[in-house]
Amino acid sequence: MMQGKLLLLLFIAAAAAAEEDLLQNAGFESPPLNVTANSTTPFVLLTQTNPIPGWTFSGTVQYVTAGPNMSLPGNGHAIQLGTDGKINQTFRANGTAMDYVLTFTLAPGGDNCSTSTTMNVSAPSRSSLVALEQLYGSKEWESHACYLGRIPSHSQSFPILVFSAAALPTDDPMVEIPDNLLINGGFEVGPAFVTNSTEGILLEEDRDFTQSALQQWSVMGIVKYIDSKHFSVPHGNAAIKIVSGDISGIRTTVALKKGSTYNLEFVMGDTNNSCTGNFIVGAQGGPSTQNFTLQSDGKGTTQKFSMLFKANSNPTPISFTSFTQGQTMDFAFCGLVIDDVVLRAASCGLKSAVKSGVLFSCIVFIVSALNIIG
């Protein structure tokens, strides 16, 4: 199938200010030399003698500037790539070994542009194919994130070859939260949000949690990484929204002691965006699975749930899978929010059970003694 044209909107969305110069001209704010400030032409074809600063390219690539009849997110500049269009940049890696995640925004571009357009993002050890969905938000454009790989500390440069996409943040280091056996259970460490992003970031299926854009979690189906600035988030600055319905969700594994009992707590909610209905999520802790239902009124409903399970393997799987899907008033597909996932050893519950058992034994002994006396 022939791919339609894509508008490529790249923004530097670094997790820390020190990383903001990883990509040159990431937002395309610096135009080709033949584009003047008073230019009335929204599309300018790039040539080898007049490329866009910071990037090399091949095939059909055009520089795009927003005008009266064209709305673009961010700073109003973009790159349009034809079916043979590619752009490339090599950046200097950080001095320490780090995982790198690419955050980018796509929009349909050109006349009669197919809504089934796909694009590819490539790095030396990994490539990702991403589809322009236009199903899970109210805007024409949408943001995505791709895991690029881990760069060793001795690497001096790292090339990114983009077939219709790009923009680069680095991951924050993993921080373990006290009294929680899960790392990144609150989803605070993930792709950086792009400038003026109001729709969240789509994360497509990636079954390996060690190579995922959402640190320490793998993705099943399609989920959306959302921020508290634009959505109702149960806790902290970010959360996961499961948007693509059946067989979609997130999964991780954790080293637990076989035979021990654990308590899995989490919060379910909606994003206060008119997504209503009875939403069902299946939670898994080791060999145990349980379905939980949230009756959403679309106005920021949240509810805390928990389940006990006994670990029977090491590592032990933890997962959340959606079984329902809804639509907002503007017909975008939507679903439940998962946040604040906490895993603890169920020591308190076990102590209570032991105490109850001792009390029961004492009662039985007293009754037996009274029967003997009587």
Give the domain CATH number at 125.
2.60.120
Q: How much is the pLDDT for 311?
A: 96
Q: How much is the pLDDT for 25?
A: 86
Tell me: do 212 and 150 sit in the same domain.
no
Domain boundary among 170, 203, 225: 170
Q: How many domains is the chain built from?
A: 2
Tell me: do 39 and 162 sit in the same domain.
yes
| CATH number reported for the structural domain that contains residue 247 in this entry | 2.60.120.260
The parts of the chain modelled with pLDDT lower than 50 are 1-3, 10-20, 112-115, 164-167, 170-171, 349-374
Give Cα separations from 357 to 178, 346, 361 (angstroms): 31, 16, 6
Tell me: do 185 and 292 sit in the same domain.
yes
Tell me: do 147 and 248 sit in the same domain.
no
- Taking only the tens place, the pLDDT of each residue in 107-143 is 876 554 444 578 888 888 788 888 887 788 777 788 8
Tell me: do 196 and 164 sit in the same domain.
no
Tell me: do 149 and 190 sit in the same domain.
no
Domain boundary among 122, 149, 170: 170
CA 10 to CA 103: how far, in whole Å?
Answer: 8
CA 122 to CA 135: how far, in whole Å?
Answer: 25
**Spatial contact of 79 and 63, defined as CB atoms under 8 Å apart:** yes
Tell me: do 237 and 369 sit in the same domain.
yes
The secondary structure of 196-209 as a DSSP string is T--S-EEEEEE--G
Q: How much is the pLDDT for 72?
A: 67
- Taking only the tens place, the pLDDT of each residue in 292-313 is 999 888 788 899 999 999 999 9
Structure-token pair, residue 109? 């571009």
CA 261 to CA 312: how far, in whole Å?
Answer: 10
Tell me: do 92 and 2 sit in the same domain.
yes
The residue range of the domain holding 350 is 172-374
Tell me: do 191 and 327 sit in the same domain.
yes
Tell me: do 188 and 105 sit in the same domain.
no
Tell me: do 224 and 239 sit in the same domain.
yes
Tell me: do 120 and 232 sit in the same domain.
no
Domain boundary among 128, 145, 170: 170
